[in-house]
Structure 1
Amino acid sequence: MYSGGLYPFETLEEFWGYWSRTILVNRYEGEAGAAYERLLKLVRDRDYFVITTNVDHCFQRAGIDRKRLYYMQGDYGLFQCSRPCHQRTYDNEDAVHAMVVAVNERIQAQREQGIAPSELDLGVPSELIPHCPVCGAPMTTNLRIDGRFVEDVGWHAAAERYAEFTQRHRGARMLYLELGVGGNTPGIIKYPFWRMTAENPQATYACVNAGEACTLSTIERQSVLINADINAVLDVLER
């Protein structure tokens, strides 16, 4: 699904035919997952904060306080102006559901007409394409893909809470727990965690990543590297 989001769709109808279903599956359907709930049990009674590059809202759906969350890369549940002409986002749940329902009905009608699966029109009806209420340009997903990403009031508030948390614990006994961060965007979590660990002799950097756990030689004595699946690690911690 991540790769599909990078496809150069020829029309906005096709774009939203794909993205409405992707958003529905990843943002609104199903449970957050056991790993998120297990993590919450481990930190519930501690002073913690979560910074994530995930955009599926699973941390909040698992019950983690939204005031302790910083969704750095955006949120599947928000639309923004594609230009963008202003720094505001819009909840998209109703619009996404309407698009998916319309596409499903279109697919069913085409199947009844005997249209081959490879020939199906999977685009949303043109009238359901979301447009900016300010300038009229097409809306798009609130995901950090390029320099047009909208950092709205909620995004900045979360950034400030994260900065306050890290500042308040500067020099104190601290665990920087990194879970599953790869090499795609290391400047958001991995590199800052390395830097803050190096600046604080009382800090510990712990990296859980199957096959990719690594650290700097300068903080090796302060690091715990676990090349394993996150759920397997949680199994051990819960014993």
Structure 2
Amino acid sequence: MFFRKNKTENIPDLIGRLQEALEQSDAVIIGAGAGLSTSAGFTYSGERFQQYFSDFAEKYNFSDMYAGGFYPYSTLEEHWAYWSRYIWINRYMNAPKPVYEQLYNLVKENDYFVLTTNVDHCFQKAGFNKHRLFYTQGDYGLFQCSRPCCPKTYDNEALIRQMIQAQGYHIDSDGTLTLPERVTPHMSVPSELVPRCPNCGAPMSMNLRADNTFVEDEGWHIAADRYSEFLRRYQGLKILFLELAVGYNTPAIIKYNFWRMTAANPKATYACLNHGESYAPEEIKRQSICIDEDIGEILTQL
């Protein structure tokens, strides 16, 4: 398959075409990848990593949050000290930049649906209707049994909050974490806070798709059915497939399906907003709008 970038049009012209597609579409299907949250300020390395994980970085020589998330800690108490911080700042704290709010303001008057591999809950916090969201890869806000013994998930906010506070952090009214002066955070949590499955007693794990233990619970299947019904309802009509910062870790979930559905529907438009990776197949060239720019900048101009 051959790809291309939009090089023959300048950014204002491309944004004008995208605005026209938004206004004329019968429905908008948003496909969102990790780069959307990166544009909103949810970075996993650098200053933000050092602010909350400098102790773990010094002890284990981590360079980013992902590395710490996969480390085989010797105790569950230390594992959950790391993961509770990770979950809190990436799920319960607000994103530093209003990118998701800008996106919501752009599409809220349209009939829309969101398909995303992101697990940070930013869409709902920005105002998107939860019945129009399908989080295919899980949610930082959910536990599941590590075995798993049953197809259930469990909200984790209350327990994660206790873990954070047990490490010495103060949680401000807006969810921001702060350390009191001269306090060094603990790198473990009390054993009684280690989450265990209420059904079988096994340790809990995160409801994140990493291997074949991922739990697709009732809510996951309901969201999948809603997405399928949305596609059926608008089959053959003017659909804008709005792909935002989707990379090549899991292209079959969003990118390849958007290409396939655009090719099958001559009334559809495919828009790819991705800084550095804005491509479309030659087969749907005339139906495509590819903008190689930071998403936050594009939304601001829109």
Corresponding residue to 1:209 among 274, 279, 296: 274
Structure 2 length-normalised TM = 0.72
Aligned to 2:112: 48
Q: CA deviation at 1:31?
A: 4.8
Please state if 1:134 is matched with 2:199.
Answer: yes
SS of residue in 1 equivalent to 2:272 = strand
Task: Measure the CA separation in 2 of the matches of 1:199 and 1:10.
Answer: 52
1:87 aligns with 2:154: no
2:94 alignment partner, SS class: coil
Q: How does 1:50-65 map to 2 (within 5 A)?
A: 50-65=114-129
Q: Deviations over 1:169-227 (max 9, x none)?
A: 11101100000111111111111101110110111110000001111121111111111
- RMSD value over aligned CA atoms? 1.7
- Structure 1 regions of 5+ residues with no counterpart? none
Q: Is the aligned partner of 1:30 residue 2:94?
A: yes
With CA pairs under 8 Å and 6+ residues apart, which has the higher RCO, 1 or 2?
2
SS of corresponding position for 1:185: coil
When normalised by structure 1's length, the TM-score is 0.90
1:191 is aligned to: 256
In structure 2, distance between residues paired with 1:41 and 1:139: 37
* SS of the residue 1:177 aligns to: strand
2-11 vs 13-22, greater mean Cα deviation: 2-11
Identical amino acids, percent of aligned pairs: 59
1:103 aligns with 2:192: no
Flag the 1:158–1:79 CA change in 2: closer, same or farther, 3 A.
Answer: same
Partner Cα distance (2:67, 2:104) in 1: 30
- Deviation, 1:20, is 0.5
2:45 aligned partner: none
How far did residue 121 of structure 1 move?
A: 5.5
Q: Paired residue for 2:19?
A: none
Deviation at 1:6, TM superposition (A): 1.9
**What secondary structure does 2:87 align onto?**
helix
8 Å contact from structure 1 (residues 31, 61) kept in 2: no
Q: Which residue of 2 aligns with 1:70?
A: 134
Counterpart residue number, 1:160:
225
Q: Distance in 2 between matches of 1:33 and 1:160?
A: 32
Q: State the shift of 1:229 in Å.
A: 0.2
- Provide the C-alpha distance between the structure 2 equivalents of 1:183 and 1:32, rounded to a whole number of angstroms: 25
Q: Which deviations, in whole Å up to 9, do the C-alpha atoms of 1:29-64 show, x marking residues without a partner?
A: 235741111111111111100011111100000110
Structure 2: gaps spanning 5 or more residues: 1-64, 170-178
Counterpart position of 1:4:
68
Distance change >3 Å, CA 58–CA 90, structure 1 → 2: same
Pair 1:14 & 2:14 matched: no
Whether 2:211 is the aligned partner of 1:146: answer: yes
CA deviations on 1:125-172 (whole Å, 9 max, x unpaired) are 111100001110000111001111111111110000001111111110
**Distance in 1, Cα, partners of 2:150 & 2:96:** 31
